[in-house]
C-alpha cells in the first residue's frame, strides 16, 4: 500500500521545516510527500530547496495559483499518487509511528474510508492535555463536538475529522473534492468537516484513533481568520461555511432542526438568540451582539445560496 503525505503551506517556513523533519523520522517511510505552495511564496520555496536537495524525503513540490486552503488541498489530491493520502498541516509534526499506523489501519479494513487521530496542541509553552471520550460527533441539534485534540480511548467511528490529522483512501475520494464554495481568504473554516462528512455520506467508515497522533503548534494565519483577533467578516464566513455544509450534508429534517437550534440557542462561537438576549443585559455584551449579527448574516446567506 502506497502512502502519500499531503502538506499545504503558506509563508511558514520554520513550521514546515519542523513538519518535514518529523516525516524523515517516520518508522514507516512515506512513499511520497506532496507540499503544495504558492509560486509567489518565495520564503517557503527557499526553505524547500534544501529539503529537495537532501533527498531525505520523496518530496514533490506542487504549485497552486489560487489562494486558500481548499484550492491547495484539491491541487494536492490531484497530484498525489498513493493508495492512501495522509493530510497534515505545516504547523504539525507527525509522531514517528504516524505513517505506519495509518497504513496498518487501511490495510486491515477495506471499508475504512477515512482515519483521523489526536493532535496534541502546544500553546504558550505547554501542551493542552485532557481526556474526552466523545470526539468528532454531530449531535441531532446540529451542534459540533470536536475534541480531536483531547480524544482518548479505543479507535471508533465518528462523523467528522480534523484537518491537522486526517487520511483518506483514494478509492473513497475519487469523486470528492474540498468544497470550493466555502468562504475565507486562507483557512476556509470547516473545509475538513465538509470533506470528511462527504466521505461518510458516500458509505465509507470514518474512524478516529487517538494513537494516530501529531504534535500541533498552531501558527499565525495570514488572513481575516486570525487566531488572536478574528474579524467579524471571518465570523460571518465561518457561519456561512457551517450552514452551507449542514444543508448539503444533512437530510431535510435534520438540517431544519440544526437551522433552528443555531438560530435560537447556538454556541459561544456561533451565538443564537438566547446569547443575544443575555448580552443585552450585560454591560460588556457588545462583542457578543456583534458576533451574533455576523453569525446570523452568514447563516442567512448560506441558506439563500443553498436554495
Would you kindly state where each structural domain of the chain is located, as residue ranges? 3-216, 232-305
What rounded mean pLDDT belongs to the chain? 95
Grade residue 186 by pLDDT with cuts at 50, 70 and 90. confident
Between CA 178 and CA 204 the distance in angstroms is 17
What pLDDT score was predicted for residue 225?
A: 52
Per-residue pLDDT reduced to its tens digit, 111-146: 999 999 999 999 988 999 999 999 999 999 999 999
In the 8-state DSSP scheme, what is residue 211?
E
Grade residue 46 by pLDDT with cuts at 50, 70 and 90. very high
Identify the CATH number of the domain defined by range 3-216. Answer: 3.90.550.10
Grade residue 280 by pLDDT with cuts at 50, 70 and 90. confident
Amino acid at each position: 500500500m502506497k502512502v502519500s503525505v499531503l502538506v499545504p503551506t503558506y509563508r511558514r517556513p520554520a513550521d514546515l521545516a519542523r513538519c518535514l523533519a518529523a516525516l524523515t523520522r517516520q518508522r514507516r517511510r512515506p512513499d511520497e510527500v506532496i507540499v503544495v505552495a504558492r509560486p509567489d511564496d518565495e520564503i517557503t520555496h527557499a526553505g524547500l530547496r534544501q529539503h529537495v536537495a537532501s533527498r531525505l524525503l520523496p518530496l514533490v513540490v506542487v504549485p497552486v495559483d489560487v489562494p486558500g486552503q481548499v484550492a491547495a488541498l484539491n491541487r494536492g489530491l490531484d497530484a498525489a499518487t498513493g493508495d492512501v493520502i495522509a493530510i497534515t498541516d505545516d504547523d504539525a509534526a507527525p509522531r514517528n509511528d504516524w505513517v505506519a499506523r495509518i497504513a496498518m489501519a487501511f490495510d486491515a479494513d477495506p471499508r475504512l474510508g477515512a482515519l483521523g487521530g489526536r493532535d496534541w496542541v502546544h500553546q504558550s509553552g505547554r501542551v493542552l492535555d485532557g481526556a474526552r471520550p466523545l470526539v468528532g460527533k454531530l449531535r441531532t441539534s446540529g451542534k459540533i463536538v470536536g475534541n480531536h485534540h483531547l480524544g482518548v480511548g479505543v479507535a471508533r467511528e465518528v462523523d467528522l475529522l480534523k484537518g491537522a490529522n486526517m487520511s483518506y483512501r483514494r478509492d473513497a475520494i475519487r469523486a470528492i473534492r474540498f468544497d470550493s464554495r466555502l468562504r475565507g481568504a486562507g483557512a476556509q473554516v470547516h473545509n475538513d468537516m465538509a470533506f470528511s462528512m462527504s466521505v461518510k455520506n458516500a458509505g465509507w467508515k470514518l474512524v478516529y484513533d487517538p494513537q494516530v497522533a501529531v504534535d500541533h503548534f498552531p501558527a499565525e494565519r495570514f488572513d481575516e481568520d486570525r487566531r488572536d483577533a478574528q474579524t467579524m467578516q471571518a465570523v460571518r464566513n465561518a457561519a456561512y461555511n457551517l450552514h452551507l455544509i449542514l444543508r448539503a450534508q444533512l437530510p431535510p429534517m435534520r438540517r431544519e432542526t440544526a437551522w433552528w437550534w443555531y438560530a435560537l440557542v447556538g454556541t459561544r462561537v456561533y451565538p443564537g438568540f438566547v446569547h443575544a438576549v443575555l448580552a443585552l443585559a450585560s454591560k460588556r455584551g457588545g462583542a457578543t451582539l456583534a458576533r451574533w449579527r455576523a453569525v446570523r448574516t452568514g447563516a442567512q446567506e448560506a441558506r439563500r445560496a443553498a436554495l
